[in-house]
Structure 1
Amino acid sequence: MPQLRRRLGRADLRAVPEARRALRELLRHWGGPGQSEVAELLASELVTNALVHTDEGAVLTATVGPRALRVEVRDFVGRGRQPRPRAPQREESTNGRGLVLVESLADDWGVQPCEVGKSVWFELGAGAEAEAA
């Protein structure tokens, strides 16, 4: 299965567009119309959350399976609160929408506690067009 694994430096937001480019390259021939763009958007939200809310960096892993794409972003911060979708405080705010987007656009998503830190993941199906190819 094609896979991407990328270490993200702590608090280095330059990693967000770099992660999007690497994911775009991995997904060149995957999914139906618009699906790779959705995957890029959701991955950038998870990467941004990990880099903004932790001090230890993170690891992005994307795996293209026969029926779905799974993207995980793992951080290495002690076991704390689990992230949850929340509405932004103000309607015009651009912050606080990441997990709301993930929840609404992904086929499935979740948070997996790890021995140290956690992994936030989402899955997108390949779509009928890609499965027929």
Structure 2
Amino acid sequence: MTCDIETLDFYRLHLPAVGEHSLRHVRRIVRAHLHHWELPELSDAAELCVTELLSNVLRHVPDPTCTVTFRCLGGEAVRIEVHDSSPDVPYIRVTGDLLGENGHGLVLLAAVTDLWDAEPTATGKKVWFELKRS
């Protein structure tokens, strides 16, 4: 795990391989940054969503190396992005199995966040979300 602090409002974390230990560390880092940015009320939702996105990398990307960025947006919101090497952009799947364990992550992301999207990049894709202070 390496990190790069470019400004006080931006943080980048490179995870050479996502795993359960990495998820715990990333959640702690998210909580610490949101506290520092005086957005602690967004911590629970941000931790839930970043865990979901990183779990998807672990579950669906052959090389679970990824980069996570956090950005404070004017002191009123946060944007978190997860970049990975897979070109497969996820989409919400409508299934009849509402109690199943899989396929609900993006539905959760859409329900919890103010904005989210998935976009192809030159090296794979990024999935991002924004949470705004109420």
What TM-score, normalized to structure 2?
0.80
- Secondary structure in structure 1 of the residue aligned to 2:25: helix
1:63 is aligned to 2:63? no
**Deviation of 1:52 (Å):** 1.7
**Deviation of 1:32 (Å):** 6.5
What's the CA shift string for 1:32-87, capped at 9, x where partnerless? 74x2111110111111111221122111111111132000000012x3x3201235
**Runs of at least 5 residues in structure 1 that lack an aligned partner in the other structure:** 128-133
Sequence identity of aligned pairs in percent?
A: 32
Alignment match of 2:61 (pick from 54, 61, 85): 54
1:86–1:14 CA distance, 2 compared to 1 (3 A): farther
Alignment match of 1:74 (pick from 64, 78, 83): 83
Alignment match of 2:28 (pick from 10, 21, 28): 21
Q: Distance in 2 between matches of 1:51 and 1:121?
A: 16
Q: How many residues align?
A: 124
What TM-score, normalized to structure 1?
0.81
1:108–1:87 CA distance, 2 compared to 1 (3 A): same
Q: Distance in 1 between matches of 2:54 and 2:94?
A: 19
Which one has the bigger strand percentage? Answer: 2
Q: Distance in 2 between matches of 1:32 and 1:26?
A: 9
